[in-house]
Amino acid sequence: MRDFIIFNPTKIIFGWGVVENCGEEALKIGKKALIITGKNSTKKTGVLDKVINLLKEKGIESVVYAGVTPNPKTEEVDEAAGIGIKEKCDFVIGLGGGSAMDAAKGAAIVLKSAGNLWDYVALPNKKAKQIEDVAPIMLIPTLAATGSEGNPAAVFTNSQTQQKAAIYNPAKLYPKVSIVDPSLTVTVPPKQTAEGIIDIIMHVLEEYLTGDTDCDLQDRITEGIILTCIENAEKVILNPADVRARTNISLASTVALQGLPNAGRYGDWVVHPIEHAITGIYDNIAHGSGIAAVLPSYLRYLGEVKPDKVIQLAIRVFGADEYSDEQELPEVCVRGFEDFISSIGLANNLKDAGVKKEDLIKIADKLIEVSGIPGIIGNKDKLMKLLKDAYKE
Amino acid sequence: MRDFIIFNPTKIIFGWGVVENCGEEALKIGKKALIITGKNSTKKTGVLDKVINLLKEKGIESVVYAGVTPNPKTEEVDEAAGIGIKEKCDFVIGLGGGSAMDAAKGAAIVLKSAGNLWDYVALPNKKAKQIEDVAPIMLIPTLAATGSEGNPAAVFTNSQTQQKAAIYNPAKLYPKVSIVDPSLTVTVPPKQTAEGIIDIIMHVLEEYLTGDTDCDLQDRITEGIILTCIENAEKVILNPADVRARTNISLASTVALQGLPNAGRYGDWVVHPIEHAITGIYDNIAHGSGIAAVLPSYLRYLGEVKPDKVIQLAIRVFGADEYSDEQELPEVCVRGFEDFISSIGLANNLKDAGVKKEDLIKIADKLIEVSGIPGIIGNKDKLMKLLKDAYKE
């Protein structure tokens, strides 16, 4: 296990109905809010109006930017921050899914550090400008998925260059307060709910699969998050208003990227960057669907080159007998995830997800350009083999 | 699941050898340290001198109080704080096991809030004085057990009244920084190592066994902590210098009481208060041994009145077949813990732990006096029945 620091200064208020506290909590961090949200759902469900009114009750003004699209674009963030600067907002509220929350983090940077958001994004061939200051951030997730509410990371897409990349800054980008109210997720449609669940699982799987192998407690916590997701996914698909299932999935989402499951180990992030390359090209494929389409093939690949954790998942998550044939165990895990992904209504391969075969090479090139080939994959031939396997003709 | 807040402002630096950072970290919180430690082991192992020198290298003076005994006494804390006040120390370092760390928290209170420590302890019939201010606290555990390094709680004994009680203050008592270096635990003898492991397990079991039953993720994390402890206990008993086992047990200790496993549920703490009553009378019985002697009987009692979680442990931790006879499952868990406790060299009943039969009634009375009868037990008859069962004549 490697040395690490646990320090998470975000105050997370968790519980069914706790959105009612948002005005009171906002009072502690600012006077005029720039609320950043998506184009539709928070208006339709009424939660946007609710938040505005809860703020108003405490004497807090707000300005709304409701133009964030999935895989948030840097120009949207720049536009939002421009409004915030003009309107003299002194803090930012991200209300929505990962896109709205990440956009809020981006706007909080631009609001205080000037320039354009893309200046602050590093790429293999591009240095990032240093973040000087960040406006206080409050996040209110309406979807259990990215865990953005408990971490200092955000992912953005530059629509001109079709590049998708992350900003990660523990010194500056933790939200001041996040209000995690699972009741806000009951209106999330089944497909998006499923995509969120896959996203949560992948957040803990990346480091687990290829990171340091002596992290027994982190392994157990990771498996606990996955089991919680799998068991509650079935319930929430049957009954979208299931309080217990929604609550546990929301908590899993927040905990997954809050620091502990991935502490002390360093693995290759593989499925996320591949997915970023996919959705950098296919704006209509949501993050969770992109992950679901690649994960089984990645597990099959690992079953060949680094099978230990795939076998451990087969036993601890999918109930395989540990005395089974070692050769067969990885496939129990691969099929376990394939079946799970199908059972929650998502495509478990790239073809069914809507990717065109001729774009596989474009996806590979995009990955190489934006984040390089992950170490565990090694070279472009192996990457193409994995993508073709994921395409499943 | 109940509403809760996750907010833990302690910076935890974790890793093999990270004690080397203590001077640098101390620089951030003060200029002159009151180091609080036990009478022997940190001198014998050399870690006390090491810490003093690491501080000196960074220009930080220190004064040592090396008089803390197991189940730390309020008068020891008052004495230590007196030295700190006289010597104008501006922060406190707790170096040692739970006793030294808790004493450091107590001294940090008295150093800044005046009076005697016992003034700040609440009892059923005694109101606590309000803590005004607390000196910055750095904790360096040399034993994996109490988890004091990541929480705002401390337990003290008043040797005049033989009362043992806790101070819990999230607003004031979180350490500023804790340096959790598992390499400091390799010199801990087998019995103390085992006692620490039982303590860790009990910290997560109390709320798990009787708290809200819809906390799926917290259940999994709790079971993960217990499994990590059980699996690594065997290794560390065989080889006290096992890096992986020591590291995972240290992490389990810190995580157990850091907030997450017990978040969102509220159960009866039963074994801890009974144990506090025991060691309030038997100063020679260590905390972990007291817990080990009571836990199996408490589980047997729960198997009769509230069996769900005892059954869940039988299945998820002790590998029982979930399709076994429901009547037999609780006993799988009880025997699982009895065997585990014996296997690590501790007594799994009060008689073997050295308690006299005629003192059972004194233990019951002490419990009633200090913290009252836990709700799940209900009355003194049932409490005596449990204690007699734990005595195992």
Q: Which of B6, B11, B16, B321 to mutate to test the interface with A (most CBs of A within 10 A)?
A: B6
Cα dihedral across residues B29, B33, B34, B39: positive or negative? positive
- Cross-chain Cβ contact B18/A3 below 8 Å: yes
**Res A51: pLDDT:** 98
Topology annotation, domain B190-391? Dehydroquinate synthase-like, alpha domain (1.20.1090)
Q: What is the pLDDT along chain A (393 residues), one digit of tens a residue?
A: 999 999 888 999 999 999 999 999 999 999 999 999 999 889 999 999 999 999 999 999 999 999 999 889 999 999 999 999 999 999 999 999 999 999 999 999 999 998 999 999 998 788 999 999 999 999 999 999 989 999 999 999 998 987 888 899 999 999 999 999 999 999 999 999 999 999 999 999 999 999 999 999 999 999 999 999 999 999 999 999 999 999 999 999 999 988 899 999 999 999 999 998 998 889 889 889 999 999 999 999 999 999 999 999 999 999 998 888 888 999 999 999 999 999 999 999 999 999 999 999 999 999 998 889 999 999 999 999 999 999 987
> What is A80-100 written as a DSSP string?
HHHHHHHTT--EEEEEESHHH
Res. B66 pLDDT band, cuts 50 70 90: very high
**Res B327: pLDDT:** 85
Model pLDDT for residues B282-323, shown as the tens digit of each residue: 988 988 999 999 999 999 999 999 999 999 999 999 999 888
- Cross-chain Cβ contact A264/B255 below 8 Å: no
Residue A150 with chain B: CB contacts under 8 Å? 6
**Res B350: pLDDT:** 97
Domain boundaries, chain A: 11-185, 190-391
C-alpha torsion A176→B170→A14→A72, nearest 10: 20
Q: Do A11-185 and A190-391 agree at the fold level?
A: no
Determine the distance in angstroms separating the CA of A10 from the nearest CA of chain B, rounded to an integer: 7
**Res B34: pLDDT:** 98
Topology annotation, domain A11-185? Rossmann fold (3.40.50)
| Kind of pairing between the strands at B32-38 and A91-96 | unpaired
How many CB pairs below 8 A link A and B? 120
Its ipTM equals 0.93
For the ranges A117-126, B16-25, B149-158, B280-289, the maximum mean pLDDT occurs at B16-25
- Contact between B94 and B104 under an 8 Å Cβ cutoff? The reply is yes
Contact status of A9 with chain B (Cβ, < 8 Å): yes
Contact status of B197 with chain A (Cβ, < 8 Å): no
Question: Taking Cα atoms as reference points, which of A207, A215, A306, A218 lies closest to residue A266?
Answer: A207
Contact status of A319 with chain B (Cβ, < 8 Å): no
Model pLDDT for residues A209-232, shown as the tens digit of each residue: 999 999 999 999 999 999 999 999
Contact status of B231 with chain A (Cβ, < 8 Å): yes
- Helix or strand holding residue B37 (H, E): strand B32-38
Show the tokens assigned to A102.
């990440």
Determine the distance in angstroms separating the CA of A11 from the nearest CA of chain B, rounded to an integer: 5
